[in-house]
Copies of this chain bind each other. A is one copy, B any other.
Amino acid sequence: MTGRELEEHPSYQRMLEMMHKVADLEGALALLGWDQRVNMPPKAAAERARQRATLSRLIHEMVTSDEFYALVKELAGQVDLDSLDDAASQIRVMLRELDKARRLPPEFVARRAQVVGLAETHWEQAKAAKDFSLFRDDLKRVVEIKIEEAELLGYQERRYDALLDEYEPETRAATVEKVFADLRAVLVPMIQAIAAQPPVDDSFLYLAYDRRKQWDFGLEMLKAIGFDLERGRQDYSMHPFTVGISENDVRITTFAADDLKPALFATLHEGGHGIHDQGIPARFRRTVLDGSPGLGISESQSRLFENVIGRSKAFWSYHYPRLVETFPEQLGNVDLERFYRAINKVTPSLIRVEADEITYHLHIMIRFELEQALIDEKISVDDLPEAWDAKMEEYLGIRPPDPSQGVLQDTHWALGAIGYFPTYSLGSLLASHWYQLAVEEHPEIEDELAQGRCDTLRDWLTRRVYAYGRKLTPPKLVEAVTGGPLSAEPFIQYVRTKYGEIYGL
């Protein structure tokens, strides 16, 4: 059948109807999750976990029902599954999801939701108390259930591949290792060369900055990069995140701190995710093509706005005078050049989300190695804090003073998100690749940034990346946009130019 014929077929209509129903439940589930992290009263954790488990199970039952599977299989038999038509793509992507989802029994899905619901709450308590033991048993349950998940999903080379595939479809741990090796070969000597220089003074970023004013300035930046606050909102949470509740309801969070850096760049980071979510074509909404094909692709958007743009001289040549106006006491005698060097200071540090663009990748490599070891049962959760600290020492030469700045710093494992971290690094690599291509085609982009606008770049991203929704898997999308496979080369060029200039390397 042609795309047109297919779209009028009753089975296709029925498939879309079921997708709509599932999408609405997923919206409700997303809101339960958002609310848990932003608003929920402290004693409501157990009931919320049950509510999320019930909704997860219901969604899973619908999606994995024999009726739905038969419908999608029937449709799949009648189209060219390689076609990029909307209708054929709906079927291809849905079929891939179903083939995977049907490997997880409903009972497993509910159990997993309950485990991570409680783990998340206990992680928050453990982090606040700086006490890993409050989270240890939950993390053991998380690791156990993720191993069970990997075995249920199946894999060819490594157990970890099954989990990575959940976040970055068709991407393999061996590929990631290869790219990480290329990266490490360049970054490690670069970090050493920088460490040999006198340290950049960025102390003025860590003065007390009024939180209300930071919040307001953050909203101005969000408007400048094009996040639509009539179709979304920003709140505070312990760990920043972005979630789409519906087409016109994309929510980002940032966190409250006195020093300037985290809130500014967390806002730009989540703002990048938010723009991506808001930019998906309307015709894909409430279907399987809504959203991003993988977390590396998502992360390429957040990192683009946080780093490539948000730490560029062009961007700040417009925004910095406004920042000085907002905080004259703290920044009145700091010029743009000093500010630019400070926000691009390269130095080994403890907290991933505060790390610079270069050492950041080493934080990711640590997590990537440790979570692979957990999943392969090569280390136990009991030994994890020590293993973490040892790797920090080995890669970055520093040891966390307590677990809230070490193994407890990130929420991901509490959420059951194992296989997630490497996508951050893949995102960084892609961000510089997209930007390189966009500027080649539209050299005016940098001038626009210097005028406080972002239209041409956003338009390019909308046409070249967001327009696909989830039609293509990440490796295929990279191929379609860049004409080649994933590569560390554009990022390496980017850091060589930028940090070469800053540090005179």
Contacts and interface: CB of A to CB of B under 8 A. Distances in A.
A479 interface: no
Contacts of A44: 231, 245-249
B24 A249 contact: no
A39 B246 contact: no
A229 B41 contact: yes
A21 interface: yes
Q: A-B pairs with the 5 shortest C-beta distances?
A: A47-B246, A24-B54, A44-B249, A43-B248, A44-B248
Contact of A47 (B27, B35, B43, B230): B27
A195 interface: no
Given A41-B231, A42-B230, A246-B51, A31 B35 contact: yes
A28 interface: yes
A381 to B, nearest CB: 29
A193 interface: no
Interface of A: 20-21, 24-25, 27-29, 31-32, 35, 39-44, 46-48, 50-51, 53-55, 58, 229-233, 235, 245-249
A408 B316 CA distance: 48
Nearest to A28: B28
Contact of A249 (B25, B41, B53, B58): B41
Given A41-B232, A43-B231, A230-B42, A54 B249 contact: no
Interface centre among A28, A46, A247 (most CB of B within 10 A): A28
B24 A55 contact: yes
Contacts of A40: 249
Given A24-B51, A28-B51, A44-B245, 11 more contacts: A25-B54, A25-B55, A25-B58, A27-B47, A28-B28, A31-B35, A35-B35, A44-B231, A44-B248, A47-B248, A47-B249
Contacts of A21: 54, 58
Contacts of A47: 27, 245-249
Contacts of A20: 50, 54
